A and B are shown apart, each in its own frame.
Chain A
């Protein structure tokens, strides 16, 4: 009844760069339809310059984010889960629009929330699990500690929420900043997730989210000399070689695409892929 009585207010789906929601600098957009081909929204179609701006925003944010205490990062990731929980219905609707059945959509939202919670708890444990005190043969204290790689480019998979969360959370929990290219056919949950991130005390620029053509954006991300690593989870198989070749330009850490069941227990591999091990030596003497 109310639907008849009142015209709904639609959302403009924009990019998420440096904590703000700009349209693409190119002024372009592209049509996003639902699974049945009906118009859903015009998503921003980001350009290479948006990639450039997003990388700059990520670089600017990365130092401060890495310097937060692990406990603080964990709390912020948990806050993301809290904010997601409050928007379950909205995400479920968006997933249904993208083609998921009612139960599947609801359970994917629940899993996505639980995944944030799971990763939130890693923030202050990763250093203990991935680090070590090394028994060297000499009068030295020697320890290895994991540190964030820096700026991670992420070509997100087409699983529009759970897959997205499963690639973004492990990258940032350790202190990296991310530039994410969302699923091309189903970008809307990503933009909504950006709204969640923007209201979760996550510093602006830690996650930057671009919608648009993967084939157009991913090469710029892969070749960008100020991006330290790239996750090719959502790259199409025939684009991988080219992207990896571009990534070799500054020896990015590359996480190749692999067959993934996003609902399975993730393990630590996606976190450790974007960590550097730093080893410190100091003499022991009087």
Chain B
């Protein structure tokens, strides 16, 4: 019998989206001097709110507020007091968890299952984890009295809006820095909700400042003379521009950029879990994940068996309304991103790779792309080299472990990699040789505040999370 799941929408009533939002500077919401912009729901193209745009003068104001808070309040504050603010924030995030999850799904297009079970819990965990560091920094291995850097300018992407905010703000504040953060222009709403949380926590004004806007706002922030430290998560292309802009300055820089991760499946892999790992690796968050396992490298001797199972599994993915609790794959974040995914997928077809998607009805309005896999992909194809940042998997094969390593490493990126094999010594052999900052063995796309995350090569530098992640925000 067919078991059709009835719609199970999460209630939207829990969020109260205002018609317009300002910047958060010096503890207050203020207007922006730039032309306001709109944030839309990518699942139906409905306008959600009008957002203030910060111009250079607004950024200047925010940096000045951060500097004042750093000099007068946050810098001198004992670590144990900073810790308590961060614990407060963690608790407030937990208290407002469902609201934040719904808001994130509306603004970003990601399934509520993920915003509810992954993003928001990790946000709370990140603040909770770093809260504990605030008064223990002398034990972190960076000398007996590590000092903060000062004012951090932080620019984050649209794929995990609130989680990336947490990855940036939690360690910065724990180490005694103050921040000016710019969320992505397509997903500013949860950052502004976070600003309210800062108010509810009685965080001293100016410790956290949120400036909204597009690339120009971000540029004004990272190039601002008053910024001591720049942290950026986004594309490698923009990362390089920022690195150039920081050249010759005293600014400290960490970059978390693109990737083209290989997910390597050996013939002795736990096949069903490997299929899950491959699916989770590329279709989690519509593939809008810098560490997505976008290249499946499968040993030839098991390729057919794996692909058959993978296709069957892809056919069970439920694509649609992000607020439906049973949705597995939500909406593409923006029209521009959808165009890019389409363009690269067409390039894959033109280059001769075999394109396949399960039967899948996509909504009429909004930005949608069916889960897609390409077989017969060669290393030279664009879909094997360029970051697609969408639900598109390129399948390549290999014969020997050495060939797997060679193909996996044959990319300018080096953010993450996956290995699937039941043989322990092979796991470690592969893990040693894969040039990537995170290696998931017999699992994929796992994140934890205690686990350092970041790339090799052109995937950027610096780590976020764990003891290692503190270094970026300490003057060491």
Contact = CB atoms under 8 A, between A and B. Distances in A.
Partners in one complex: yes
Contacts of B257: 251
Contact of B236 (A142, A245, A251): A251
A281 B244 contact: no
Interface residues of B, number: 40
A137 B446 CA distance: 10
A136 B450 contact: yes
A20 interface: no
A283 B419 CA distance: 12
Given A251-B461, A277-B454, A140 B446 contact: yes
A75 interface: no
Contact of A279 (B125, B243, B453, B457): B453
B319 to A, nearest CB: 27
B438 A279 contact: yes
A253 B236 CA distance: 14
Nearest to B141: A129
Contacts of A142: 448, 450-451
B451 A136 contact: yes
A104 interface: no
B461 A253 contact: yes
A281 B243 contact: no
B450 A137 contact: yes
A110 to B, nearest CB: 27
A200 interface: no
B278 interface: no
Interface stretch (B212-220, B387-395, B463-471): B463-471
Nearest to B253: A254
A247 B427 CA distance: 34
A277 B456 CA distance: 8
A132 to B, nearest CB: 6
Contacts of B239: 251
A40 interface: no
Contact of B243 (A138, A251, A282): A251
Nearest to B439: A280
B12 interface: no
A267 to B, nearest CB: 8
Interface in A245-286: 245, 247-251, 253, 269, 276-283
A228 B414 CA distance: 12
Interface string B432-476: 000011111111001010111110111011010011100000001
Contacts of A244: 243-244, 246-248
A245 B244 contact: yes
B48 interface: no
A249 B243 CA distance: 9
Interface in A111-162: 129, 132, 134-138, 140, 142, 144, 149
Interface of A: 129, 132, 134-138, 140, 142, 144, 149, 228, 240-245, 247-251, 253, 269, 276-283
10 A-B pairs with the lowest CB-CB distances in the bound complex, closest first: A241-B248, A244-B247, A248-B243, A136-B448, A245-B247, A248-B244, A282-B441, A280-B439, A134-B450, A280-B431
22 contacts: A129-B141, A132-B467, A134-B466, A136-B446, A136-B451, A142-B450, A142-B451, A144-B451, A228-B457, A241-B248, A245-B244, A247-B243, A248-B244, A249-B240, A250-B458, A251-B257, A253-B461, A276-B437, A276-B456, A278-B438, A278-B456, A279-B437
Given A142-B450, A243-B247, 17 more contacts: A129-B141, A132-B452, A132-B466, A240-B247, A242-B248, A244-B243, A245-B247, A247-B243, A248-B240, A250-B412, A251-B457, A276-B437, A279-B438, A279-B452, A279-B453, A281-B441, A283-B443
